[in-house]
């Protein structure tokens, strides 16, 4: 006796995507990280694909195992998992180990790609534009960032989710191919330029030290530095902070507290003007 194929509707897929995007980081632990968020994003599909019983329990356990990736770009894995579960429920030769292996194999590379493209490139660019718009206390800055980020990330993650659902494992090619690698390198380089512009525009530091010669001539150290290398002190602050954070593992909070303490001590001692 043939069984009627179970087909997920657009509404089912939207529920899966929405659950993942809203709750991917809502239940975090060092043991499982985003696993429960992933499982929650699979539940709308699992409830429809599998009747209550051993198959659904097995699928829930499968998707509650350790998982961690960049949430927005990682939505493509959710789409692929939903598509494979649909094929499995309809009798195609897809086993649970294949689905779990796919998730584990892709979460690391996609996390690296997503972290370099979003926190490493997109967010700094949007923040730099927002900071320029917010100069003088304008509310346009934060509004621009919120609207622009949501306008890019929300439709982008939905498109990736559907791409993964429709194309399955073949959809990963567009993220790991040589052409996409060159694009990521170009975008990363653009992010570096933007961060350099932000540092040059918003990091301010000058010294009020002055040197007196035997002839009674006073030489202002800041004027001398500006004649040799303008904005040298802000550049040194940025480079030292970057070195401590990237090479020595200094946390952002400790870096900010250290800069605050340095600024207070420097102003009190008359080193900074």
pTM above threshold 0.85: no
Do 3 and 32 form a contact (C-beta atoms < 8 A)? no
Least confident among 164-173, 222-231, 257-266: 164-173
Question: How much helix, strand and coil, in percent to the nearest 5, is found in the chain?
Answer: 70, 5, 25
Nearest to 37 by CA among 71, 7, 14, 13: 71
Pick from 71-85, 192-206, 215-229: least confident: 192-206
The pLDDT of residue 193 is 64
Does 139 or 234 have the greater pLDDT score? 139
Angle 232-246/178-202 helices, nearest 10 degrees? 130
Backbone angles phi, psi at 34, to 5 degrees: -90, 15
- Around Cβ 12, how many Cβ atoms within 10 Å? 17
55/65 Cα distance (integer angstroms):
16
Interatomic CA distance for residues 226 and 219, integer angstroms: 13
Beta bridge partners of 212: 218
* 227-260: pLDDT as tens digits: 778 778 888 888 888 888 888 888 888 888 888 8
Residue 50 predicted with pLDDT over 90: no
Q: Backbone phi, then psi, for 31, in 5-degree steps? A: -80, -40
Q: How far apart are CA 255 and CA 257, in angstroms?
A: 5
Between 183 and 140, whose confidence is greater? 140
- Contact between 252 and 245 under an 8 Å Cβ cutoff? The reply is yes
User: How far apart are alpha carbons 62 and 39 in whole angstroms?
Assistant: 8
Q: What is the pLDDT of residues 83-137, one digit of tens each?
A: 888 888 888 877 777 788 888 888 887 887 888 788 878 888 888 888 888 877 8
Question: Which pair of tokens denotes residue 136?
Answer: 């003088």
Burial of 17 per CB tally in 10 Å (0-12, 13-18, 19+): buried
216: left (phi over 0), alpha (psi -120 to 50) or beta: left
What pLDDT, on the 0 to 100 scale, is given for residue 101?
A: 80
Q: Is the pLDDT of residue 1 over 50?
A: no
Q: Cα angle vertex 93, ends 92, 97, to 5°?
A: 125
Work out the pLDDT band at 187, boundaries 50, 70, 90.
Answer: low
pLDDT for 190 equals: 58
């Amino acid at each position: 006796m043939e069984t009627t194929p179970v087909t997920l509707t657009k509404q089912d897929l939207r529920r899966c995507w929405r659950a993942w995007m809203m709750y991917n980081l809502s239940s975090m632990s060092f043991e499982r990280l985003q696993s429960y968020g992933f499982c929650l994003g699979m539940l709308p599909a699992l409830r429809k694909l599998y009747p209550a019983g051993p198959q659904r329990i097995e699928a829930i356990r499968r998707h509650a195992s350790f998982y961690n990736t960049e949430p927005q770009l990682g939505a493509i894995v959710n789409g692929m998992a939903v598509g494979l579960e649909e094929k499995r429920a309809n009798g195609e030769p897809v086993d649970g180990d294949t689905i779990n292996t796919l998730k584990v194999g892709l979460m690391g590379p996609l996390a690296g790609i997503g972290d370099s493209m979003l926190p490493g490139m997109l967010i700094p660019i949007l923040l730099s534009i927002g900071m320029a718009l917010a100069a003088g206390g304008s509310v346009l800055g934060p509004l621009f960032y919120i609207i622009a980020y949501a306008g890019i990330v929300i439709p982008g993650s939905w498109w990736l989710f559907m791409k993964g659902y429709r194309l399955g494992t073949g959809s990963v090619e567009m993220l790991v191919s040589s052409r996409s690698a060159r694009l990521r390198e170009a975008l990363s380089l653009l992010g570096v330029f933007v961060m350099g512009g932000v540092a040059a525009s918003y990091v301010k530091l000058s010294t009020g030290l002055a040197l007196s010669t035997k002839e009674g001539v006073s030489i202002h150290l800041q004027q001398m530095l500006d004649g040799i290398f303008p904005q040298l002190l802000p550049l040194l602050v940025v480079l030292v902070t970057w070195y401590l954070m990237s090479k020595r593992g200094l946390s952002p909070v400790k870096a900010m507290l250290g800069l605050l303490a340095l600024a207070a001590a420097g102003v009190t001692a008359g080193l900074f003007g």
